[in-house]
Structure 1
Amino acid sequence: MALDKDLIGKRIPTHTVDIERGQLRFFAKAIGETDPVYADVEAAKAAGHRDLLVPPTYLFCADSRRTDGFDMVKFADIDIRHVLHAEQSFTYHRPIHAGDSLTFEAVVEDIVSKKGGALEFLVLLVTVFRDGELVAEVRKSLAIRDPKAGK
């Protein structure tokens, strides 16, 4: 099933996430991060931060904390059984800390077909705002396999 190219430029529902210390500590531990600015408030403050610093890839997890975690697959009419997370990249414009409330706005940036349509990539650009100020951008892509291709 080919993705509809008319999805390019479409926005998926915006959502807001509060960044919590406990989740940052858990995430830092899970990824093996040992820098105390991600887990110890006093160390973060001593390093010039106002609270725990968000680890570099945490925004992917924060963006996943939507009211409906499947809104993207519903939005694009994708069968979740054929989806894989393919790639992600992060651009930070400002430090992000525990206590911040972040708003995630996502738009379909591109749809790329490979292997004669057997594999399609849905590329999303997610802009992240704190109090209306751009703090980060996350570019991610989903790989969608056509189960009928090659049969």
Structure 2
Amino acid sequence: MTLPATAIGTELPPVTMTVERGRLQLFARAIGEHDPLYTDPVAAREAGHPDLPVPPTFLFGIELQQPDPFAYLRALGVDMLQVLHGEQEFTYHSTAHAGDTLTARSTIVDVRSKNGGALDLLTKDTTVTRSDGTRVADLRTITVVRNEVPAP
């Protein structure tokens, strides 16, 4: 199946979460982060942070907080067994910390085919802000969908 170009401009439902200290500590350990800045609140405060800072790739998981984070792909007719994570990009504007309430707002900004239609690439941009509206980061995700292409 080829993804429809009409998907471009689709805004996904926003997702809001409050960043929990314990979750940051578990995430830091899971990614092999050994810097106490990310696991010890005292070390974080001594480094000038109000609490544990959010590790760089943690924000990718905000959208996974909703009950069905991939509903938008299924709504486009995507077979989830054919989905691959292509790329992830982060542009940071400020550091988020434990206790911050963050909201992620995503929009599908591009759909294109590659390799003679064997792959579709869906690009989604996400803006993450604090509850006061200050921007924390901009994320770009490229999702790859493998398509069956008839043999020539």
Fold-level similarity (TM above 0.5): yes
Report the counterpart of residue 125 of structure 2 in structure 1.
125
State the number of aligned residues.
Answer: 150
Give the deviation of 1:101 after TM superposition.
0.8
Pairwise CA RMSD of aligned residues? Answer: 1.1
* Cα pair 1:103 1:129 within 8 Å, conserved: yes
Structure 2 unaligned runs (5+)?
none
Shift in alpha-carbon separation, 1:75–1:17, aligned structure 2, 3 A: farther
The question of 1:32 aligning with 2:32 is answered yes
- Aligned-partner SS, 2:56: coil
Decide which moves more: 73-82 or 114-123: 73-82
* Cα pair 1:12 1:75 within 8 Å, conserved: no
Report the counterpart of residue 15 of structure 1 in structure 2.
15
- Aligned-partner SS, 1:140: strand
The question of 1:138 aligning with 2:139 is answered yes
For 1:48, give the aligned amino acid.
Answer: G
Alignment of 1:69-108 (within 5 A): 69-108=69-108
TM-score, with normalisation over the residues of structure 2?
Answer: 0.94
For 1:139, give the aligned amino acid.
Answer: R
TM-score, with normalisation over the residues of structure 1?
Answer: 0.94
The C-alpha deviation readout for 1:95-120, integer Å capped at 9, x for no partner, is 10011111110000111210111101
Report the counterpart of residue 68 of structure 1 in structure 2.
68
State the percentage of identical aligned residues.
45
Shift in alpha-carbon separation, 1:19–1:102, aligned structure 2, 3 A: same
